[in-house]
Amino acid sequence: MRLCESCSARLGLESEASEGSGCEACMGLSDKFSSYLDMAVKAVSEYEFSTFWLGAFIRKKVIDADARLSENKQGIKKALEIYVGEGLEKRTGKTATPVDPDIIATVDTINERIELRVSSAFFSGRYVKKSRAMPQSKWLCRKCSGRGCKECGFTGRMYPSSVEERIAAPLIRMCEGAGSKLHALGREDIDVRMLGTGRPFAIEILSPKRRTVDLAEASKEIASSGDVEALGLAASGRQEALRVDTSKAMKRYEAVVSSEAQVEREKLEAISGLAPIELEQRTPNRVAHRRSDIVRVRAVDNIEFTNISDEGFRMSLLAEHGTYIKEFVSGDDGRTKPSLSQLLGIQCRVAELDVTDVEFV
């Protein structure tokens, strides 16, 4: 049996001296372990990271040849992973762990390269949106789907910017990332401002080369636009993004409501006394093209009215997550029951709407 010195020791088998591809177990792969370690060290040197994990991809014929000899002993794939993994720990001072590592490095012995999968960097906080003409995320042109046409002025988009882009821009640059993904606790309509304490969010920066950045400077740059702020911006993790994505919260709103006729103060006070008000809301007409047509049961826990005039009034309310406030006011052609218009007997609509608080702990 011809085995290289490394495989002879690994398998505990006597053999004739053999070098390189003459080894019947590894077919010369063991001789390349050191060069793979050098390649791995060079590949990760461009990245800031604390933890990593190491894997390997080896030709099937090498795996099969080695398996015939290794039986319950250490296989060639495991041997390569241990050698390069332990060497990477020593030479970089970083920690190897299979649990949510910053980088997963794979030794591709077929193509003679190191493949890296870099985990995202996460930052969280609360955002304030002062604009009534900005979506939460990038909105491609409906007509051309981002390719550019006369309809969108050849920009490929419906709106020039978004909350996500405002927050992500400095972080992508500072992290040298490849892109971003916004995770937020709900969303407001484009024409609705998010004021007060802001909306909880986590921004995911894809494939970052840097993870430690000047968050005070990033917050300052975000706020310089004048329409978006990121309050309490801090480094976080994937679990925070998941928490933001899946949590539910009560939300406070302020609205300017217009009415087709003068509303009596007594009627408004009577409606305030009905709270909490349970609503049945069928998917609104304005979003029916992109959401399932179902009936949602939601609640308005508290509602108050001020600044009552001939043209309308101001409304403050606390409502359950997912409540369509505009439709609660208008009735949406009977798709929301009861509605403020129905209770008053006068058609009303929201002229301006702001979210002032998202109660999230």
347: helix, coil or strand? Answer: coil
Structure-token pair, residue 73: 């002993």
Catalytic annotation on 332? no
How many angstroms separate the CA atoms of 120 and 141, rounded?
Answer: 28
Q: How far is CA 319 from CA 89, 150, 179, 357, in A?
A: 52, 41, 34, 11
Long-range (24+ apart) CB contacts under 8 A made by 69-73 are 69/1, 69/3, 69/7, 69/11, 69/13, 69/24, 69/25, 70/10, 70/11, 70/25, 73/10, 73/11, 73/12
Give, for 332, the enclosing helix (H) or strand (E): none
Residue with tokens 């190191």: 114
DSSP output for 102-139: SEEEEEETTTTEEEEEEPPEEEEEEEEE--SS--SS--
**Nearest Cα residue to 51 out of 103, 87, 91, 88:** 103
Q: How far apart are the first and last CA of the chain?
A: 67
Report the DSSP beta bridge partners of residue 106. 55, 115
* Active-site entry in 189, 191, 301, 354: 189
How many angstroms separate the CA atoms of 100 and 105, rounded?
Answer: 13
How many angstroms separate the CA atoms of 134 and 124, rounded?
Answer: 20
Catalytic machinery residues:
189
